[in-house]
Amino acid sequence: MSDSPVDQERLKDKVSLILKVNYVTSALALVFAGVCYFGLNIKQIIPIVFIIFGVCNLLNIWAFHKHKNSTTTYHISSIIALISAFIITLYSGGINSSFIFTLGLIVFVGYVTTKRYGQVYLILVFCLVFLIFSQSIPDFSITKNVIPEVSKNLFNLLSVLFSIFLLGHIFGKNLLKTHHALYRSKKELTAQLEEKETLLKEVHHRVKNNLQTVSSLLSLQSRNVEEARMKTLLKSTQNRVISMAMVHEMLYMRNDISQIEYKSYVQELSEYLIRSIKGLDSKVQLKIDIPDIKLGIDTAIPLGLLINEAVTNALKYGFADEEEGEIYIVLKKELDKQYVLNIGDNGKGFPETITYKNSKSLGLKLIHNLTRQLKGTIQKDDSKKGTNYIIRFHEVTQQLHPAV
């Protein structure tokens, strides 16, 4: 998977910052070495370390242009800087040396890169500072201050200026530039995301309108059909279309267009089916037990169609015209995005000899096919009166080829 524009921008800025810091610190280190040797009369250790640091840093930059691995370049630079700053601090006054502040800059750059790297270098610098402090204890000291007494104040001044220059001109300036670039990228991405969400909501709205148009056409067509069986088929098809339209309508109405609150959807769908098939004076009671579950469209539509078929079959075949009855729908979420749907009625039921394979009922066949589409299993619960099912399924994250 390719990186997002923001990630690419961050990587580009990170590489730019690392290279710029390396170039500047290498040049300053070589200049500092000359000042120490010729201007401050520091002949031991310190100017040599500055030269080695500058040369190694330049070689590290040259190596980066070969392997293009910014993380490796960063770590090599940090390790060289840690070792060099540690040695210079030890031989320029130890815990009292102003050059010790450069160790803090290394920690700062670590946190700029990532929080994890910053924490690692923070621990390393803490350990080095305690080691430097131990050299101020006479019994443990194995190093000495090589800076002449007359040059100490000037060396400390140059060390402080060195740290301030790196912190302000290099890190501060580049971090501010990076911050503004990321802010612009984030603002652009937010605008693009809002535009896409608006377009998606409009798509759901149009799909809902188109499905309602299909439903209206089916309703008009059924009025011109006299045969009862054909009327029933058209009505069943209309209900299936409406069950899909309801999903798109709910997605359009919500701020989160990726998921719908399933309890309200099932409630609205089931109540519509009861009114449509049994009328407003129906004696069939509806019991729904669904927690606050949100499902994506790839799960919501096939599951909605499944519930539509089960409730429709119960209303058409489970209860006589004015007979009282009960339809229950229980949906529970288990581990690993697995769900259990208990759905059924206390109506007449049908013989055990009838299965979806030998049945002429399209609804029964659809229930089994939709269960497969949900990557689930279906079991008929014969311990209860009527027709009852236990369906276990997984949430579908992507559905390119519907199984129905």
Can you tell me the distance from the alpha carbon of 2 to that of 366, in angstroms, rounded to the nearest whole number?
40
| pLDDT at position 165 | 80
Can you tell me the distance from the alpha carbon of 31 to that of 41, in angstroms, rounded to the nearest whole number?
14
Phi-psi group of 386: left, alpha or beta (phi > 0 → left; psi -120 to 50 → alpha; rest → beta): left
Question: Nearest CA to 386 among 343, 355, 330, 356?
Answer: 343
| pLDDT at position 172 | 62
DSSP letter at 92? T
- Count CB neighbours of 62 within 10 A: 9
297-334: b or e for each residue (b if 16 or more CB lie within 10 Å)? bbbbbbbbbbbbbbbbbbbbbbbeeeeebbbbbebeee
| pLDDT at position 404 | 41
Can you tell me the distance from the alpha carbon of 14 to that of 6, in angstroms, rounded to the nearest whole number?
12
Q: 319 and 285 in contact (C-beta within 8 Å)?
A: no
397: three-class secondary structure by DSSP: coil
- Indicate the residue type of 249: E
How far CA 333 is from CA of 147, 218, 279, 287, 337, in Å, comes to 72, 36, 33, 18, 7
Q: 99 and 85 in contact (C-beta within 8 Å)?
A: yes
* Global confidence as pTM: 0.52
| pLDDT at position 399 | 46
Cα dihedral across residues 221, 222, 223, 229: positive or negative: positive
Which class for 17: exposed (0-12), middle (13-18), buried (19 or more C-beta within 10 A)?
A: buried
Mean pLDDT (10-residue bins), the chain, 404 residues:
53 66 85 90 91 91 83 84 90 88 78 74 87 82 86 89 76 62 72 74 78 84 81 82 81 70 88 85 89 86 88 85 87 86 87 66 82 89 87 74 42
How far CA 18 is from CA of 11, 81, 236, in Å, comes to 11, 13, 67
Tokens 């160790």 — which residue?
103
Q: 17 and 77 in contact (C-beta within 8 Å)?
A: no
